[in-house]
């Protein structure tokens, strides 16, 4: 399988009251096209920091993150913004939808920034909203949607421009069991049908149980990497 993202000797160090904390401590990892993987571990193990480094939202202290052959540390701030927009989809715990926009407008926002034609945007969002089970909610604003529905819009937004992979940071943390099950079913289905790579940072056992691969972190290091057959 084609490797879409890899890290080489990756470190992220913070200094707190003159004490160095290695949130990410020399990690070498790679993820292939079509993986459905979870990065897990106790609070403070470095999973969110690692996810932020993978997405170019934070800069490593040393080491490199290579996405589809591009070492993102070589990119300028402007280039990094464009690179993220065209290659990476994000799903966050807090949904991060724009309240004054409709569900459709939120979902197609990245495509709009990419100057995709209106017809292409509309066709893609119609396809995604049907696939994720919120067809008919296109013109509703986030405040009138349930938490589960808002997170589905966030998933549609992440997938809309067909990125190389999706990074999901605790996407189920604010959802009840029913909404979590439905959301995970949807993401697994899209993973299989569109062959898009999903990488989760999570402590939710329901996500861990669905993952095809689980990477365990402790003190910023990978202590176990298990792939289900």
Q: How far is CA 54 from the centre of its chain?
A: 9
Ordered per-residue pLDDT tens for the chain, 229 residues: 799 999 999 999 988 777 888 899 999 999 999 999 999 998 889 999 999 999 999 999 999 999 999 999 999 999 999 999 999 999 988 888 999 999 999 999 999 999 999 999 999 999 999 988 899 999 999 999 999 999 999 999 999 988 989 999 999 988 888 888 988 998 898 899 888 899 999 999 999 999 999 999 999 999 999 987 5
Q: How far is CA 201 from the centre of its chain?
A: 8
State the pTM of this model.
0.92
Strand locations in 74-151, DSSP E?
88-92
The CATH code of the domain at 3-227 is: 3.40.50.300
Residue whose structure tokens are 């949130």: 23
Q: Provide the 10 A C-beta neighbour count for residue 227.
A: 11
How many whole angstroms separate alpha carbon 194 and alpha carbon 98?
26
Strand locations in the chain, DSSP E?
3-16, 19-32, 36-40, 62-67, 70-71, 88-92, 165-169, 197-201, 213-218, 221-227
Q: What pLDDT is attached to residue 229? A: 55
Q: What pLDDT is attached to residue 62? A: 95
C-alpha distances out from residue 74 to 10, 53, 64, 65, 118, Å? 15, 14, 9, 10, 33
């Amino acid at each position: 399988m084609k490797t879409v993202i890899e890290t080489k000797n990756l470190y992220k160090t913070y200094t707190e009251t003159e004490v160095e904390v290695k949130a990410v401590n020399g990690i070498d990892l790679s993820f292939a096209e079509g993986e459905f993987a979870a990065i897990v571990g106790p609070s403070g193990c470095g999973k969110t920091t690692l996810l932020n480094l993978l997405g170019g939202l934070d800069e490593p202290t040393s080491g490199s993150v290579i996405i589809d052959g591009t070492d993102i540390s070589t990119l300028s701030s402007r280039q990094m913004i464009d690179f993220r927009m065209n290659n990476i989809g994000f799903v966050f715990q807090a949904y991060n939808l724009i309240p004054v926009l409709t569900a459709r407008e939120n979902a197609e926002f990245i495509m709009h920034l990419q100057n995709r034609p209106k017809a292409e945007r509309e066709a893609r969002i119609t396809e995604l909203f049907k696939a994720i089970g919120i067809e008919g909610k296109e013109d509703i604003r986030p405040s009138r949607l349930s938490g589960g529905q808002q997170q589905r819009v966030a998933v549609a937004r992440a997938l809309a421009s067909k990125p190389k992979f999706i990074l999901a940071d605790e996407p189920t943390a604010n959802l009840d069991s029913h909404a979590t099950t439905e959301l995970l079913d949807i993401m697994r289905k899209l993973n299989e049908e569109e062959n898009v790579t999903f990488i989760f940072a999570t402590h939710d056992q329901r996500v861990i149980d669905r993952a095809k691969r689980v990477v365990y972190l402790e003190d910023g290091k990978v202590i176990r990497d298990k792939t289900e057959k």
